[in-house]
Amino acid sequence: MSDAETESAVTFDESDSRDDAMAETIEAWIEDLVDHVEDARGSEAFQEWRDVQSRFHDYSYRNTLLINLQCPEATKVAGYRAWQEEFDRYVQEGESAIWIWAPIITTQCPECGNSPSYHEQSDCAYDETPPEEWSEGLVGFRPASVFDVSQTEGEPLPELETAATGDAGDLVTVLEDAASELDVEVRLVDADEWIHGQAEGICKPRQSDESPLVAVRDRANEADLAVTLVHELAHALLHGAISDPLARSEQELEAEAVAYIVGRHYGLDTSNSSFYLAAWAGDDPEAIRERLGRISRTAEQLIDVVDSKTA
């Protein structure tokens, strides 16, 4: 049983030592979280999940942007045949492809860098070695189609259990009120109206004179709903929105660590955050500890606002 499962909500006396007590508690919880992430990474469930993830290609920055523009809710993409052969899943009839640039790898002229066919049509006079002896390299790109997992059906992919549990009481309602004070707009969206795929919540930027928008998929598990709301509020406070794919892992790490702390503060079991963070932290769960300052300040800010609403 996790530490969070055996705890009730934590309170701090209103005194000169309150800030220090909160900081010490949060630092201790971060240490727990780092340990939980290490344990999660060694689990059988995580190894099975990671094995499947390793079969998905890493996409370039340009292709990541193309995927996001065409299908913002995409989470896992692969080619038509790859879904069949690698994952025993099939693209559903009528689905529109997501187009990316696929590299063309073939033998290329050591002098002009062209493939043999283009080399013959060029002005390059290189003839020291025959084309069959040339090394392979990148000679260009071609359009290629991929599909998101939400566009397929078949054998289920292994999932990590990341949902929070426990008695959230009226925490969701209080968080909605707190968001208003933090100048963040919050929307709870019915599941049948949710258009963001497998994401549980999103944080979107607004114009410079408008508040960030947080949208969260409504669900029966109010503990998980509350923790997801905290996660997205942390994005709004820390990042404004996830706009740079290259920084996304760092942003997710910070937001989920804040959600773990705030949820645990209010007596929820957020130990499953360890699986979420194991996926984002990669080989360096120490990154959670390294970002303690930003995580701690944001968690304290949210706790202070929520506590003021329930005082």
Asked if the model's pLDDT at residue 2 lies above 50, the reply is no
Across the range 115-135, mean pLDDT stands at 81
The CA-to-CA distance between both ends of the chain, in Å, stands at 31
Across the range 65-92, mean pLDDT stands at 91
Q: Are 274 and 36 in contact (CB under 8 A)?
A: yes
61, 241, 247, 249, 277 from 244: Cα distances, Å: 9, 9, 6, 10, 19
Domain locations in the chain?
A: 4-49+159-310, 77-154
* 64 closest CA partner among 171, 172, 146: 146
pLDDT at res. 210: 78
Across the range 35-46, mean pLDDT stands at 91
**Confidence at 1, pLDDT banded by 50, 70, 90:** very low
Asked if the model's pLDDT at residue 70 lies above 80, the reply is yes
pLDDT at res. 49: 87
Phi, psi of 186 (to 5 degrees): -120, 135
Asked if the model's pLDDT at residue 109 lies above 90, the reply is no
pLDDT, tens digit (0-9, with 9 covering 90-100), for 162-208 = 999 999 999 999 999 999 999 999 999 999 999 887 789 999 876 66
pLDDT at res. 56: 85
Q: Which two tokens stand for residue 37?
A: 């992430």
Asked if the model's pLDDT at residue 73 lies above 90, the reply is no
Mean pLDDT of the chain: 87
Top pLDDT among 84 and 210 is at: 84
**Confidence at 245, pLDDT banded by 50, 70, 90:** low
pLDDT at res. 283: 67
**Confidence at 214, pLDDT banded by 50, 70, 90:** very high
CA 234, 236, 241 angle in degrees (round to 5)?
A: 120
